[in-house]
């Protein structure tokens, strides 16, 4: 089966989630990947949305983090103060699954402004749940399309500063080595030079660089059922 | 006991120019009809408080009702940007908009402190972010028992909080269920409150997981069927995701927004 680079990214992100763990899910790419994991190898993955839905099991992708389908299928439905104070803050949740508008070589995220804070070129949505998700979850994974604009030499604003273990993109996978993110994996058909070209800092390449397994037909079928 | 009134009467009585106003509802039960009524009544200089400004504050900001926004995430969920919010911050259109920016955890705790009658809330938050450099309502505080440095955020006590709920009885006792967000805290934190409801019934039947706001903590109740549209009311109607997508085009330029605004007014 042929597939797009976005599909490869989503499949790679889904594979990073282990069955039986809990995942605090951001909207967009992270939500698609987390739901794909549940639909494939991780049926007992617990999806947690900041709207207060714990153990949501949507049959189709929600547009927002608070769609009715999440509430209807949740094991438990709690208030917003409770989801942050009782569930996220104490470090109960295994993985925080986040997107980013801009990130740096340390895996810090900017979703606040491009340009000066007081006089921004582009005003972005802001922090949402991310600062606390990035620091309170045991592990953090970032899913984002890779480009020079997104993978910035310097952030205009630090919105969230966690310690992600992985950045999964449409070109490959980056992991931290000696304090900065390096390319450890490329997706099939992607050249290392493309990943370097799409990074705003001098991207180092790991000596043990590997190639991602392409999506299987069953992964693609499950993904297209979700997004279709 | 809450007083039952029309939406126009309730907004006219409870929302004044210059007030700090919170219209809450986390994706679900967003009180859109009340927001539109505030626009129709031409309120100005409001300080708008809301975790997720969403379309409702994009509309109020574009209509020129707001002087300041206190918030934590200003996007169109799953769609993209809030263009009227952006235009106000980037170009001061139609009027300059001051912002006070937090994280969700910080905002939720500010309402909790407000509802609890405390001056501030404590959380383990904002670690490593630039937010405290821009927002003077985020300060470090040391635990008196362990010495751990935590974060303090001040209570929110809006002049008026407006929420939408599924139903109320004739005494103004309010019942809401599904995703209940931060509404209970926002109502209890406020000096005055208005709850718009899908329907007023003779008797509130128990619902699993429902939040009940007794009539004596609510100032006014107004019956407004479909009052949360294009957001949704669990067990009444679903989220109008198509409208959320269409809003991107409607709000993108000032002219098409102006046409939408003319219809609302």
Nearest to A64 among B27, B89, B128 (CB): B27
Chain A contacts of B70, Cβ < 8 Å? none
Backbone torsions φ then ψ of A168, nearest 5 degrees:
-105, 125
End-to-end, the C-alpha distance of chain A in Å comes to 16
In Å, how far is B252's CA from the nearest CA of chain A?
14
Q: Can the peptide bond before residue B116 be classed as cis, meaning omega within 30 degrees of 0? A: no
Q: How far apart (Å, rounded) are the C-alpha atoms in residues B221 and A174? A: 54
Question: Which alpha helices (H) appear in chain A, and where do they start and end?
Answer: 5-15, 29-39, 68-73, 80-82, 130-136, 192-197, 217-227
Return all residues near B241 (Cβ < 8 A) that are at least 6 apart: A63, A64, A67, B78
Q: How far apart (Å, rounded) are the C-alpha atoms in residues B136 and A99? A: 27
Q: At what angle do helices A5-15 and A217-227 cross, to 10 degrees?
A: 100
Query: Could you count the other beta carbons within 10 Å of the beta carbon of residue B149?
Result: 11
ipTM: 0.96
Q: Is A124 on the interface with B (CB under 8 A)?
A: yes
pLDDT in tens, chain B (265 residues): 899 999 999 999 999 999 999 999 999 999 999 999 999 999 999 999 999 999 999 999 999 999 999 999 999 998 999 999 999 999 999 999 999 999 999 999 999 999 999 999 999 999 999 999 999 999 999 999 999 999 999 999 999 999 999 999 999 999 999 999 999 999 999 999 999 999 999 999 999 889 999 999 999 999 999 999 999 999 999 999 999 999 999 999 999 999 999 999 9
Q: Can the peptide bond before residue B230 be classed as cis, meaning omega within 30 degrees of 0? A: yes
Longest dimension (CA), chain B: 58
Q: Confirm or reject CATH 3.40.1080.10 for domain A5-221, answering yes or no.
A: yes
Determine how β-strand A205-211 pairs with β-strand B75-76.
unpaired
Q: Is A60 on the interface with B (CB under 8 A)?
A: no
Q: Do A85 and B244 touch (CB under 8 A)?
A: no
Give kind and range of the element (H or E) at residue B188.
helix B183-189
The residue of chain A nearest to residue B27, with distances taken between CA atoms, is A66
Residue B237 DSSP one-character state: B
Q: How far apart (Å, rounded) are the C-alpha atoms in residues B247 and B167? A: 28
Residue A50 appears among annotated catalytic residues: yes
């Amino acid at each position: 089966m042929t597939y797009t680079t976005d599909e490869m990214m989503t499949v790679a992100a889904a594979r990073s989630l282990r069955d039986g763990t809990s995942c605090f899910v951001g909207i967009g790419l992270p939500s698609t990947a987390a739901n794909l994991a549940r639909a494939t190898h991780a049926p007992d993955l617990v999806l947690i949305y900041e709207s207060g839905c714990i153990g949501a099991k949507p049959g189709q992708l929600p547009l927002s983090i608070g769609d009715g389908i999440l509430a209807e299928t949740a094991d438990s439905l709690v208030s917003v103060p409770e989801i942050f104070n009782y569930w996220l803050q104490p470090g109960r949740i295994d993985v925080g699954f986040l997107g980013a508008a801009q990130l740096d070589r340390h895996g810090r995220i900017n979703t606040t402004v491009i340009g000066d804070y007081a006089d921004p070129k582009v005003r972005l949505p802001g922090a949402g749940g991310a600062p606390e998700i990035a620091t309170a979850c045991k592990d953090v994974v970032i899913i984002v399309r890779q480009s020079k604009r997104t993978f910035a030499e310097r952030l205009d604003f630090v919105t969230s500063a966690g310690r992600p273990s992985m950045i999964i993109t449409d070109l490959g996978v980056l992991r931290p080595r000696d304090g900065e993110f390096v390319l450890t994996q490329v997706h099939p058909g992607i050249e290392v030079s493309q990943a370097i070209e799409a990074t705003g800092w001098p991207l180092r390449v790991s000596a043990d660089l590997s190639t991602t397994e392409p999506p299987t037909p069953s992964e693609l079928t499950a993904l297209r059922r979700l997004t279709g | 006991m809450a007083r039952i009134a029309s939406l126009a009467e309730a907004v006219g009585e409870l929302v004044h120019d210059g007030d700090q106003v919170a219209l809450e509802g986390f994706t679900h039960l967003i009180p859109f009809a009340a927001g539109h009524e505030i626009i129709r009544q031409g309120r100005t200089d409001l300080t708008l408080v809301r975790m997720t400004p969403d379309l409702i504050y994009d509309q109020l900001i574009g209509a020129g009702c707001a002087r300041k926004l206190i918030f934590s995430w200003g996007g169109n969920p799953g769609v993209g940007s809030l263009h009227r919010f952006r235009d106000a911050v980037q170009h001061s259109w139609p009027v300059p908009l001051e912002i006070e920016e937090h994280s969700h955890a910080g905002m939720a705790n500010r309402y909790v402190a407000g509802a609890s009658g405390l001056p501030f809330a404590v959380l383990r938050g904002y670690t490593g972010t630039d937010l405290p450099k821009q927002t003077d309502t985020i300060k470090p505080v040391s635990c008196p028992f362990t010495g751990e440095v935590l974060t303090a955020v001040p209570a929110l006590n809006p002049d008026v909080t407006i929420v939408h709920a599924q139903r109320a009885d004739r005494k103004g006792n309010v019942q809401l269920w599904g995703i209940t967000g931060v509404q209970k805290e926002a109502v209890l934190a406020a000096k005055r409150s208005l709850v718009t409801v899908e329907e007023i019934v003779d008797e509130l039947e128990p619902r699993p997981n429902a939040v009940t706001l007794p009539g004596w903590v609510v100032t006014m109740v107004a019956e407004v069927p479909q009052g949360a549209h294009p957001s949704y009311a669990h067990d009444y109607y679903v989220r109008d995701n198509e409208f959320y997508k269409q809003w991107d085009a409607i709000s993108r330029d000032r002219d098409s927004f102006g046409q939408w605004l003319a219809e609302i007014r």
